[in-house]
Amino acid sequence: MLTVCGLTKRHANAHRAVFRSLELAVGAGEVVALVGESGIGKSTFLNCIAGLETADAGQILIGQPEKDIVTLDETARAALRAREIGFVFQAFHILPTLTVGQNIAVPLLLGRAPPATHPARIAELLEQVGLSGFAERWPATLSGGELQRVAIARALVHRPSLILADEPTGNLDPRTADEVMSLLLDQVRRQRAGALVVTHSRHVASRCDRMLTMAGDGLR
């Protein structure tokens, strides 16, 4: 689902690389936890995989047939991202001027599913994240944890082959966090997708298939 080879990233004007020569493979149906101290480069790594930031060297192979997102131009990158990737951002990025239902629909609008099927799919996801009846609500009226669940529903709605989640349970109480992780694990396994989940929670990491720690000298 995801193969990363020799990935190196240096931010503009930074005197040293955030990370260099990272190697990672995530298989179908596998959920990999990524832990590491604040500022080490976890979000930067996820952004590079999604093609939201450009790596300086290395390969990131995604999709069937595999494509290297590092070498694609902006348009092809956006198309690959829309088709293959579901992203849960650390800061949600729920659009405040769209309702909850419209937010979840965004990946569907970029995909090939017939519009007539969208409402049922959105209702299904809302039910799975425990937010039935929230479709017409405005994001400003939701709690932090509810917003986080909307972000997860949006990342899963188009059945992506790769799910990248940056602290998907960071704002949830332990019980809701557990439920959200169950949903994520269940969907990934059912869809035979791969997932990379950044977390500061050892408990969340322990529920994943494998845990990697990002440190100054790479992934271990």
Ligand X SMILES: Nc1ncnc2c1ncn2[C@@H]1O[C@H](COP(=O)(O)OP(=O)(O)OP(=O)(O)O)[C@@H](O)[C@H]1O
Task: Give contact residues for ligand X (rule: CB under 6 A).
Answer: 11, 14, 18, 36, 38-44, 90
Measured from each CB, the residue nearest to Mg ion is 43
Q: How far is the CB of 6 from ligand X (least distance, A)?
A: 18
Alpha-carbon distance 86 to 122, whole Å?
15
Query: Which secondary-structure segment (H or E) carries 85?
Result: strand 85-88
HEC string of 10-26? Answer: CCCCCCCCCEEEEEEEE
CA–CA separation, 51 and 165 (whole Å)? 14
Query: What part of residues 81-120 is at the interface with Mg ion (CB under 5 A)?
Result: none
Nearer to ligand X, 18 or 49 (CB): 18
Q: Contacts with Mg ion in 120-159 (CB under 5 A)?
A: none
CB of 99 to ligand X, least distance (A): 29
User: Residue 100: which of 118, 62, 126 has the closest Cα?
Assistant: 126
Sequence-ordered list of residues with C-beta below 8 angstroms from that of 138, at least 6 positions apart, any chain: 96, 99, 100
Residue with Cβ nearer ligand X (26 or 46): 46
Smallest separation (angstroms) from Mg ion to the CB of 157: 23
Shorter beta-carbon distance to Mg ion: residue 43 or 161? 43
How far is C-alpha 187 from the geometric centre of its chain's CA atoms?
Answer: 13
Residue window 42-81: x/- pattern of binding to Mg ion, with contact defined by CB under 5 A: -x--------------------------------------
**List of residues contacting Mg ion (CB under 5 A):** 43
